[in-house]
Amino acid sequence: MEDSAYSSQKNEQLQGVVERLTFHSADTGYTVARLKAPQEMELVTIVGSFPDIQAGQTLKLEGFWRSHPKYGDQFQVTQYQETKPATLTGLEKYLGSGLIKGVGVVTAKRIVAHFGLETLDIIENQIDRLNEVPGIAQKRIVAIQNAWQEQKSIKDVMVFLQGHGVSTVYAVKIFKQYGKDSIATVTDNPYRLATDIYGIGFITADAIARNLGVAPSSEFRYRSGMLHVLGEAAEEGHCYLPQQELVERSVKQLSLEAHEPDAEAIAALIPKMVEELEIIVKADLKSGKEVAEEQLICYKPTFFRTEEGLAKRINQLLEREVIVDGLRVQSWIDRFTQKYHVELSVKQRQAVEMAASQRFTILTGNPGCGKTFTVRTIVALWKAMGKSIALASPTGRAAQRLAEVTGQEAKTIHRLLEFDPSSMGFKRDQDRPIDADAIVIDEASMLDIFLANSLMKAIPPDAQVLFVGDADQLPSVGAGNVLQDLIQSECVPVVKLTEVFRQAQSSKIVSHAHTINQGKYPQIEPVSDRPQSDCLWLNASEPEHGVQAIRDLLTYLVPDLGFEPARDVQILCPMTRGEIGTRNLNKALQELLNPAQAEKQELIRGSTTFRVGDRVLQQVNDYNREVFNGDLGVISDIDREEQAVAVQFGDRIVIYDYADLNEIGLAFATTIHKSQGSEYPVVILPIFMQHYLMLSRNLIYTGITRAKKLAILVGSQKAIGLAIRQVKDKQRYTQLDARLLQSQPLQILNLREPKENSHRAK
C-alpha cells in the first residue's frame, strides 16, 4: 500500500489512541485503523503493519501522509511504538480492549477504579495485588499475567527489530515466525530469515546482519550468499551451477566496499553444506566417463531430487512395452487420409505410427510443418483404438487452441493435475493418477522440471504420452530445459517435422522464422503503405524513435490493413526495463489505445494507472481464482465502493480486491517470455541494442512465431543481427539428459561430514 503516487514521503510523527480497527490481517499484520490524535479534530485513518493491535492502545507513530482517491487523507505508518495511556479513561479503554485475555470492559473499570494511574505498574510488577479487586479470582489473575507477558514480548521484539533497521512489515513476519524467540534467533543468525520467511531474501537479511554487527566474512553470510546465488541461477533456468562458477558468482555477490571475500574459504565451505547442497560428479555424455573430481556441480536439494525423480519416472514409463497391431494402424491411417482427402508426409505418418506403438513419443518441428494436423490425426487414431484421452497445455490460451484443433476438451496442466490451493500441491499423483489411457501435452517447451515431474508422477503406468512442442522456441521460464534434454538424450522416440507445407510456404512469417532458426538474416520487406508481405521491418535507430514508430503503426498502418489495434495487436518486448521495454510502452500505449475519459473509472496503484478497457496480464498463478501466469484479460469494471476490479478472461469474469492488484499488470506490451503458448493476429517486436543482454536467436524466433497474420519488427539491423547470432538461451545447466542415459544414478560424492554445532554469527 506504500504507493508513491499517493504520498509526499515526508516523514512525520503522530501520536494518539486507537479508537477502532477497520481492518486487521492476523497473517500479515496489515491494518487500517482510526486514531484519535490530540491535535486533530476528527479521527485519523492510519495504515500499516502491526502484529497485534487493539482499540485503546496509545501509539507513537512515524510515517507520512498520503491522499487516497476515495478515502481521503491517510497516515502511512513506517515505524511505531506503544506508550502507556495517560488518563483513567484511556486506561479503562486500553485494558478493556481485548488486548489482555481475561480482562473485559467491566473488569477493566474495576481494576482502574481500584488502582487509578498506578494500574499498569501494578499489573507489571505486583500482579498478585489484583486479588484486592472484588470479583477477580486467582485463576483470572494468572491468565492476566500470562497475557500481559505475551504482549510485553511482542513489544520488546518489535522495538529490537525496528531499532536494527527492520521495517514494520518484516518485523511482523519475523514475530509471526519465531514468536518470543525472535530476538535470540535474529541475533544468533540473521541469515535464517532468508530461508525461513517469505519475502526476506539474502539482500534484506544481509542488511539486517550488518546492522547487527555480523562480520562480512561470517560463515553464515557465505553460506547464505551461495544459496542466494543458486536461487538466482534457477531464475535464469539453471538446475545447478558448476562449483567453480558458484564460487565466482558468490565472490561477486558477497563483495562489499570494505570486504573482498576469500574464494578459497567459500570453496572450502561447500563440502560442509550437508543440508543445503547436493554435490555430484558431472557425467560426460559422450564417453560416459566422469570428469575430474574438481569439476563438481552443486544443486539445491529440491532441484537435485526433482531432476532425479523426473528421469526415473520417464525411464520407468519407457520400460513398459506397448502391444499394438501395426498393420491395423497403417490400414486406419490409409482410410483416414482418404476420407478427409489429405496426404501425410513421411514424417507425419511416422509420428502417427509411433504414437500408436510407443509408450512415450515427442513430436517437434517448426511452424508450417504440420504439427497441428499430425496431433489431430493421432488423437483421432487413439479414439478409434478405444482409448480415453486427456489433452493439456501449460497455459490456458494454448489449451484453448489445442481443444479447437482436436475438437476435444483440453485443460491447463494444473487443472489436469487438480491443483489444491489449500495444500499447494496436486491431487493427481502416483497414488491417484490421471484417468486416461493416452495423454497429449502441447507446448512442451514450456515445461520446467518441477511441473514436468508432477505431471510424470500422475501418468498411469499403462498410459501412452505424446509431448508436442517446438524445441527451437524459448525454454521454460522456470528451471530446466525439459523438451530439449529429452530430445538430446535420444532415449525418447522423437519425430521432427521439417517439410514446410504448400499452404505455409507463402507466409513470410513461416519462411523468415525458418531462416532465423538457421542463423541467417532474413530479407524482410520494409514497411510501406501497401505491404505485400505478412512479415515487415520498420527501421528505427534509437529506442525513442521506436516508441514513436510503434505509435504510428498502431495509428495508421494497422487500421489500414483491417486490424483493430486495441484488440488484435500485441507488442512483445525482450525486457521490461528501458525506454523500449514493457513498462514504458504500456504507459504510452495506454494513452493511445485506451485514453482517460470522464465516464471511464480508473485507479492508481504505485506508478500504474488501471482503467476500464485496459488489457491486463495475470503475473502469477492464482489457484483460488483459477487464473494463471500469462493469462490475458480486459478490465471490465472498477467498483470503488467495494474496492474491487473485474477482469474479463475469455468467457469468465474474475474479481480482484484492491489488495490483490499486484497480481496483474498492463499488457498492451508484454515480454516475449510471457507470450509463450499464445498466438495473436498481429505482433510487433521492438528489437534494439538497449536490450542486448537478452537478445538471442530463439527469443526473436519465438516472438515472430506468435503472429498468426502479421509480424512487424521495429528496430535496427544491428540489433536484429545480434539476436540472430546469439544462441545463449539454450545453454542451461541441467543433467536430465545424462540421468536418462545412465542406467545407474549419478555418483554422489562422499563429502558428508558430521553436522557441526550451530555457532553464533560473528
- Binding-site positions for ATP read 368-372
Q: Which of 619, 652, 625 is nearest to 419 (CA)?
A: 625
Furthest-apart CA atoms within the chain: distance in Å: 100
Task: For residue 598, count other CB atoms closer than 10 A to its CB.
Answer: 4
Beta-bridge partners for 649: 652
603 membership: H or E segment, kind and range: strand 602-605
Q: Which of 150, 141, 143 is nearest to 175 (CA)?
A: 150
- Please compute, for residue 210, the number of CA atoms within 13 A of its CA located in the half-sphere on the CB side: 12
Return the axis-axis angle of helices 543-552 and 582-593, rounded to nearest 10°. 30
How far apart are alpha carbons 569 and 710 in whole angstroms?
9
How far apart are alpha carbons 35 and 37 in whole angstroms?
6
Cell numbers that stand for 492 in this block: 525418447
Torsion-angle region of 540 (φ positive above 0: left; ψ -120 to 50: alpha; else: beta): beta
Beta-bridge partners for 645: 638, 656
How far apart are alpha carbons 716 and 541 in whole angstroms?
5
Q: Contact at 8 Å (CB) between 490 and 506?
A: no
User: How many Å is the Cα radius of gyration of the chain?
Assistant: 31
C-beta contacts of 726-730 below 8 A and 24+ residues apart: 726/695, 726/696, 726/697, 727/519, 727/696, 727/697, 727/698, 728/696, 729/237, 729/474, 729/475, 729/696, 729/697, 729/698, 729/699, 730/475, 730/481, 730/484, 730/698
Q: Which residues are known binding-site members?
A: 368-372
**Residues 6 or more apart in contact with residue 343 via CB below 8 angstroms:** 337
DSSP state string for 367-421: TTSSHHHHHHHHHHHHHHTT--EEEEESSHHHHHHHHHHHTS-EEEHHHHTTEET
